[in-house]
Amino acid sequence: MGLFDGLRGEFVDIIEWLDDSRDTIVWRFPRHDNEIKMGAQLVVRESQSAVFVNEGQLADVFGPGTYTLETRNMPILSTLKGWKYGFDSPFKAEVYFVNTRQFTDFKWGTKNPVMVRDPEFGPVRIRAFGMYSVRVIDPAKLLRESAGTDQQFRTDEIDTWLREKVVAAFAPAIASAGIPVLDMAVHQEQIGERLRSAVAGQLSELGLDVPSFTLTNISMPKEVEEALDKRTSIGVVGDLGAYTQYQAANALEESAKHGGGASDGLGLGAGLAMGNQMAQNLSGQQAQPGAAPAGPPPLPDAAAWYLGVGGQQAGPFDEAALRAKAASGELTRETLAWKSGQEGWLPAGQIPELAGVFASTPPPLPPQ
């Protein structure tokens, strides 16, 4: 190898990145202290961006395409280096390739149940999990805020951090949605969009976006699901009395087939009676609004009247007692009377409700 061949090998003339890892977000071009030849070819493929860094300071950013590196298409680097127009000497700079495609292998889930307030069940603990994708929208900001000088920045380096961001946004998104727990499965897309928007707003500061967000499943604790299944079963059965009798008849038939004796019959009778009683109790609890009550309603409370007699309050008296007092002369039309709801004391003769009390009382005899 000649002298010029050795010197030529120290210059980089093609800068490109062929990614076959599927999980690399940022990759630094291995320059190995070699200088980049002015006029070298920079190849940036689709879903890639190339960022030049000079002595730790971000410079020019290139999108997809093939470029011949010159001072006119590297304005920031030329300014940092102090190059004059037409400068064609080799130079040193770091080149970072940023993968801008969607990374779709991010998963999330709630390690611990999240407490929400449901309008039907009250406080309920729920869990959820799903998937989402991440894409770089600002390569320079990503290098500045996250990747730094890492030789190879992969998805697993931010996977845990992103998952915590999603879980932290889950509870506020559920609370603001105002969707009952039983209806969340129907509105999974709506809840997922709320989560996507909340997480994307936080990741924008790092130059990242969340193009898609999927809510795969929402579940309640096992005990709550079992209770809900029992409640659903009762609704499916319908008439509990008829169902209990049907079950008892089947049991009696099975007992006869297997030669059951008198003790079996007694046990069956007791079970049937207990089942009927339970069915009546449950039927009473599940009575539909507007159904006729089992017995007459309670009598309304009689009006309680108070009288002012000799400057003292007397009572309370019902209407029958007032009639008796009117008949004996203790209650006259000038006697003050009051009951709950009345603004103040009034003469009994001025109260329309007491007109019937005096109607049955004969007027005083005319003077002789």
Residue 171 has what pLDDT? 79
Last-in-domain residue among 83, 99, 115: 99
Domain that holds residue 243: 238-259+267-278
- One domain, residues 54 and 89: yes
In a domain, 292, yes or no: no
Residues 314, 357: Cα–Cα separation, whole Å: 17
Q: What is the pTM of this model?
A: 0.56
In SS3 terms, the chain reads as CCHHHHHHHCEEEEECCCCCCCCEEEEECCCCCCEEEEEEEEEECCCEEEEEEECCEEEEEECCEEEECCHHHCHHHHHHHCCCCCCCCCECCEEEEEECCCEEEEEEECCCCEEEEECCCEEEEEEEEEEEEEEECCHHHHHHHHHCCCCEEECHHHHHHHHHHHHHHHHHHHHHHCCCHHHCCCCHHHHHHHHHHHHHHHHHHHCEECCCEEEEEEECCHHHHHHHHHHHHHHHHCCHHHHHHHHHHHHHHHHHHCCCCHHHHHHHHHHHHHHHHHHHHHHHHCCCCCCCCCCCCCCCCCCCEEEEECCEEEEEECHHHHHHHHHHCCCCCCCEEEECCCCCCEEHHHCHHHHHHHHCCCCCCCCC
Q: How many domains does the chain have?
A: 4
Residue 325 has what pLDDT? 82
Question: What is the pLDDT tens value at each position of the chain, 368 positions in all?
Answer: 443 444 445 678 899 999 888 889 999 998 777 788 888 999 999 999 999 998 888 999 999 999 999 888 898 888 888 887 767 788 888 999 999 999 988 888 888 888 888 777 788 888 888 899 999 999 999 988 887 777 888 988 888 888 888 888 887 887 777 788 778 878 888 888 888 888 898 888 889 999 998 888 888 777 777 777 676 666 665 565 666 666 676 777 777 676 655 445 545 555 555 555 555 555 555 445 554 455 565 555 556 888 888 778 887 888 888 888 888 888 888 888 888 878 788 888 888 888 778 775 566 666 66
Residue 50 has what pLDDT? 95
- One domain, residues 219 and 255: no
**Do the Cβ atoms of 45 and 64 come closer than 8 Å?**
yes
- One domain, residues 82 and 114: no
Residue 67 has what pLDDT? 94
Residue 4 has what pLDDT? 40
Residue 321 has what pLDDT? 83
What would the two tokens of residue 357 be?
């009390």
- One domain, residues 140 and 215: yes
- One domain, residues 10 and 116: no
- One domain, residues 94 and 186: no
In a domain, 24, yes or no: yes
- One domain, residues 51 and 28: yes
- One domain, residues 108 and 93: no
Beta bridge partners of 208: 136
What would the two tokens of residue 152 be?
């190879």
Residue 208 CB-density burial (10 A; 0-12 exposed, 13-18 middle, 19+ buried): buried
In a domain, 22, yes or no: yes
Residue 209 has what pLDDT? 92
Closest of 73, 95, 94 to residue 83, by C-alpha: 73
In a domain, 58, yes or no: yes
In a domain, 364, yes or no: no
- One domain, residues 28 and 40: yes
Contacts 24+ apart (CB under 8 A), 275-283: 275/244, 275/245, 275/247, 275/248, 276/241, 276/244, 276/245, 278/240, 278/244, 279/240, 279/241, 279/243, 279/244, 280/241, 282/234, 282/240, 283/239, 283/240, 283/241
- One domain, residues 116 and 208: yes
Closest of 180, 207, 212, 181 to residue 195, by C-alpha: 212
Residue 16 has what pLDDT? 93
- One domain, residues 80 and 173: no
